[in-house]
Amino acid sequence: MRAQPKASHFINGEYVEDTAGNVIECVYPATGEVIARLRSATPAIVEQAIASAKAAQKDWAKMSPTARGRILYRASQIIRERNRELSELETLDTGKPIQETIVADSTSGADAMEFFGGVAPAALNGEQIPLGADWAYTKRIPLGIVLGIGAWNYPQQIACWKAAPALVAGNAFIFKPSEVTPLGALKIAEILTEAGLPKGLFNVVQGDRDAGPLLVNHPDIAKVSLTGSVPTGRKVAGAAAGQLKHVTMELGGKSPMIVFDDADVESAISGAMLGNFYSAGQVCSNGTRVFVQKGIKDQFLSRLKTRTEAIRMGEPLDEATQMGPLVNRSQREKVLGYIEKGKAEGATLLTGGGIPNDVSSEGCFVQPTVFADVTDDMTIAREEIFGPVMCVLDFDHEDEVIARANATEFGLAGGVFTSDMARAHRVVDALEAGTVWINTYNLCPVEIPFGGVKQSGFGRENSLAALNHYTELKTVYVAMGKCEAPY
């Protein structure tokens, strides 16, 4: 098995196994080859991870932010040096093409380590509050043990995006990767250890849907940061609320992308393709409802069809491949089911719509698919598909499209393509979304906050804003005179 790690879990600076755990089979989605076999965590593994995190956290919190940041910075350098190896592993784990993983996965994890390592010495300051003769000050203090739970689409990135702000703020971190893509986080653990992170501060605990709640419900976990679907978010936030734990919820979406008549059409098509076909459409912030103003509809659809049909699907490890398979068979069946619903409910299939011929029959490939003439009530326009399926809807007026764009329970992201900047900002203000792009789509550099509103979640990842979600304030009132009392 070409990607078998030394053991399933990484606890207290070393690989750990418990053969009593359920088997997790890792499959390369492009061929069906089993690349590793891991074990889900038993209660004993969970206890071991918590105990080591607890033992390590207090001393870590006493270190200066500069000293903690230096370790993260070292880790960022090692990640960049090993980018090829990490990207190949990410491709095997997820099926995403190496063309993408080499630029978007471990490198964005390194960005987070570098950014939070660098800003920590200044960003964790408290404030001094004058109160006349008296005064007060605040301290930004860590929460304790933070649990990160990952989705399967960006395993290494999610591990780093959550761990970097949590660790630099003085917390210990336990990561439970998705059981579908469990491999990358183990390498991040190795790298952090090599960079000098004291043992116990970054533990990886593998687990399926049974092991997740063991961690979430553990009383020693102070915070849960989940990236996953809305139904999982409801369960995890509900369980955390029972013990009043802090939570960050990075959940699903059905984001609108609005293309006005005056947009640069080729650029808008690029945005729509990036926001629907990157990672074979398995990106939470994708602009899966593409609203196109009627004046440019024909031109938009004709060029979109030509460009979509030119996408190269195939073996993800081949540098020339632009789109790989979906992550597994069940995701492929789900996506094909939505495509059938789109056809049955009367959308026009512009291109794609099935399994390509010229790829491994054991792979989980689905053609890049575009539906036109989609209406707001169709299932494909309402539910998150999480596959390479773009829905194009028509519109006439700005007010109309804003109302329709917002008519969803989700609020993760949105996009607007126009050459009228006053209109762009007006639309941005009106859209109910955590992130909105003007004349581009899905760019998420570490400097900018990322997260959702409405059912897409709460809390923010990246940027200085993330540090607020991994710390709390301690307020200290300093009396300069005697304590006065009315009795």
Which member of 2, 84, 209, 425 binds ligand NAD (CB under 6 A)?
A: 209
Q: Is 474 a catalytic residue?
A: no
Judged by CB under 6 A, which of 21, 97, 142, 150 binds ligand NAD?
Answer: 150
Closest approach of Cβ 404 to ligand NAD, in Å? 21
Give the CA distances from residue 174 to residues 135, 205, 238, in Å, rounded to whole numbers and listed in that order: 38, 7, 20
Tokens 């099935």: give the residue: 354
Closest to ligand NAD by CB, 3 vs 239, is 239
Binding residue (CB under 6 A) for ligand NAD from 284, 347, 350, 466: 284
Is residue 242 at the binding interface for ligand NAD, with CB under 6 A as the rule? no
Q: Does 95 bind ligand NAD (CB under 6 A)?
A: no
Q: Tell me which of 94, 178, 279, 288 binds ligand NAD, using CB under 6 A.
A: 178
Quote the crossing angle between the two packed helices 83-94 and 184-194, to the nearest 10°.
160
> Of residues 379-418, which lie at the interface with ligand NAD (CB under 6 A)?
384, 386, 412
Residue 347 is a binding residue for ligand NAD (CB under 6 A): no
Please indicate whether residue 461 is annotated as part of the active site: yes
Catalytic one of 162, 176, 245, 254 = 162
Cβ at position 454, least distance to ligand NAD in Å:
12
Q: How far is the CB of 479 from ligand NAD (least distance, A)?
A: 45
Residue 149 lies near ligand NAD (rule: CB under 6 A):
yes
Q: Is 432 in the site for ligand NAD (CB under 6 A)?
A: no
- Is residue 109 within the footprint of ligand NAD (CB under 6 A)? no
Q: Does 155 bind ligand NAD (CB under 6 A)?
A: no
Instruction: Please name which of 372, 303, 298 lies closest in space to residue 342, comparing C-alpha atoms.
Output: 372
Return the number of the residue (41 or 86) whose C-beta is nearest ligand NAD: 41
Q: Letter for the amino acid at 345? A: E
Would you count residue 279 as binding ligand NAD (CB under 6 A)? Answer: no
The CB-of-384 to ligand NAD minimum distance in angstroms stands at: 5
- The active-site residue, picked from 26, 160, 284, 391, is 284
Stretch of residues binding ligand NAD (CB under 6 A), selected from 57-65, 143-151, 308-316, 340-348: 143-151
Q: Does 114 bind ligand NAD (CB under 6 A)?
A: no
Q: Report the residue number, 143 or 149, with the smaller CB distance to ligand NAD.
A: 149
Closer by beta carbon to ligand NAD, 123 or else 237: 237
User: Applying CB under 6 A, which of residues 142, 228, 256, 363 lies at the interface with ligand NAD?
Assistant: 228
One residue of 40, 76, 153, 255 binding ligand NAD per CB under 6 A: 153
By CB under 6 A, residue 213 contacts ligand NAD: yes
Active-site choice (100, 250, 384, 398)? 250
Residue ranges binding ligand NAD (CB under 6 A):
149-153, 176, 178-179, 209, 212-213, 216, 227-229, 232, 235-236, 250-253, 284, 384, 386, 412, 452, 457
